[in-house]
């Protein structure tokens, strides 16, 4: 199938078949410049420019992200800050060891996921392992608010830094698997991630203005769900929309996909926590 029939499927799903590009708004959060448009990383064969999903949102949604007092995700960031000081099962709080606060983690998220101890590791994986080791705690569920608000608090420390995940060396086989998934057509609609987010970004699909499907703002606060959404939850939703069976949150498949999708944003700023429709 070429581009044309795919565009027809999308137009068929859409309330209106109009297409318009990303807007030209610039993002500046309290003096911090956020790069929402830049040259695509070299490994991306089919795109010349990459854009943050923010550029495809309405003015009202965009404005919520420009002011941390307006950004509803900060309620959860505050909860994570409280959790940072709470003693775990063995009496240790995060702050017992990380005395300088979460600011110590600047740059961590920009390079995640990455291979640690021979295994592709997301921030969720890292936190569950680290909490068991240092606090004697049980794992958090992947998309629980306890987990996602801590992932967001850690991500916030990299806000404004360029996404820079490694795709070579030990990461290469995972990256290849993720890339293969990105171009695989799923479901009754036989649509791949690329069919929507590479071939047709800028189009309307139902009420949504299709972006490039970047993850540099995750976890994002979704207005529709009124909570923080994990990357894997978003992947699930997108695959489900093609009327396919989907992979589980925290599955090896989604880890690999997370790495590949993150690498498509190499060069854009980390925006965590973003606000989306
Ligand atoms: C018993 C001490 C201890 C406790 C408790 C602890 N950590 Fe750590 N943490 C460390 C050590 C040691 C390292 C590795 C050295 C470093 O990077 O600071 C580390 C590393 C990290 C890193 C990676 C930093 C990087 O740049 O590689 C993150 C993120 C992190 N911890 C978050 C947390 C969070 C969140 C909590 C609470 C849920 C927590 N830690 C609890 C000791 C602890
Ligand atoms: C049928 C079209 C379609 C397919 C196929 C699809 N998505 Fe999406 N996706 C959407 C729509 C619509 C949205 C919400 C609007 C937007 O941000 O593009 C979205 C949003 C996203 C977002 C959030 C972007 C942001 O800035 O918050 C990510 C990430 C994403 N998709 C990844 C994927 C991945 C990975 C795949 C393949 C597993 C995929 N999508 C497949 C339609 C699709």
Q: Which two tokens stand for residue 19?
A: 């297409």
> Has 94 been labeled as part of a binding site?
yes
Lowest-confidence segment of 4-8, 54-58, 72-76 by average pLDDT:
4-8
Q: Is the C-beta atom of 94 inside 6 A of ligand 1?
A: yes
Write out pLDDT tens, residues 13-55. 444 444 567 898 899 998 999 999 999 999 999 999 999 999 9
Distance in Å, CA 197 to ligand 2 centroid: 6
Q: Is the C-beta atom of 219 inside 6 A of ligand 2?
A: no
Round to whole Å and give the CA distance between 148 and 131.
14
Confidence of residue 9 (pLDDT cuts 50, 70, 90): low
Question: Average pLDDT for residues 178-205, to the nearest whole number?
Answer: 95
Which residue is catalytic, options 7, 47, 238, 244? 238
pLDDT the model gives residue 206 = 83
DSSP 19: B
Distance in Å, CA 9 to ligand 1 centroid: 47
Length of the chain: 277
Domains and CATH numbers, the chain: 3-70+168-276 (1.10.760.10), 74-156 (1.10.760.10)
**In the predicted model, what is the mean pLDDT of the chain?**
93
Percentage above 90 pLDDT, the chain = 88
Q: Which two tokens stand for residue 183?
A: 């171009």
Is the backbone of residue 269 left (phi > 0), alpha (psi -120 to 50) or beta? beta
Confidence of residue 141 (pLDDT cuts 50, 70, 90): very high
Ligand 1 pocket mutation pick from 89, 92, 98 by most atoms within 8 angstroms of CB: 98
Residue nearest to atom 41 of ligand 1 (CA): 94
Round to whole Å and give the CA distance between 238 and 212.
13
Write out pLDDT tens, residues 221-235. 999 999 999 999 999
Q: Is the C-beta atom of 203 inside 6 A of ligand 2?
A: no
**Is residue 224 among the annotated active site residues?**
no
Residue 170 has pLDDT above 50, yes or no: yes
Question: Comparing C-alpha atoms, which of 68, 65, 43 is closest to residue 52?
Answer: 65
Q: Is the C-beta atom of 241 inside 6 A of ligand 2?
A: yes
Write out pLDDT tens, residues 67-93. 999 999 999 999 999 999 999 999 999
> Has 43 been labeled as part of a binding site?
no
């Amino acid at each position: 199938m070429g581009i044309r029939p795919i565009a027809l499927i999308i137009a068929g799903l859409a309330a209106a078949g109009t297409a318009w590009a990303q807007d030209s708004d610039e993002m500046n959060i309290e003096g911090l410049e956020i790069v929402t448009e830049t040259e695509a990383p070299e490994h991306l064969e089919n795109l010349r420019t990459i854009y943050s999903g923010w550029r495809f949102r309405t003015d009202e949604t965009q404005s919520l992200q420009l002011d941390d007092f307006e950004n509803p995700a900060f309620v959860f960031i505050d909860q994570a800050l409280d959790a940072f000081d709470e003693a775990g099962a063995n009496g240790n709080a995060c702050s017992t060891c990380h005395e300088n606060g979460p600011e110590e983690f600047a740059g961590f998220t920009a390079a995640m996921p990455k291979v640690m101890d021979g295994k592709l590791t997301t921030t969720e994986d890292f936190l569950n392992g680290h909490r068991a080791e240092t606090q004697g705690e049980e794992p958090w569920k992947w998309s629980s608010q306890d987990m996602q608000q801590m992932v967001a608090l850690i991500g916030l420390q990299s806000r404004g830094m360029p996404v820079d995940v490694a795709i070579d060396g030990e990461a290469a086989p995972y990256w290849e698997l993720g890339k293969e998934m990105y171009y695989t057509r799923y479901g009754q609609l036989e649509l791949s991630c690329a069919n929507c987010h590479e071939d047709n970004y800028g189009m309307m699909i139902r009420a949504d203005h299709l972006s490039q499907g970047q993850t540099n703002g995750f976890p994002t606060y979704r207005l529709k769900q009124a909570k923080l959404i994990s990357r894997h939850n978003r992947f699930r939703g997108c695959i489900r929309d093609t009327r396919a069976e989907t992979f589980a949150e925290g599955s090896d498949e989604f880890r690999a996909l997370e790495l590949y999708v993150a690498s498509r944003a190499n060069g854009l700023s980390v925006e965590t926590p973003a606000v989306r429709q």
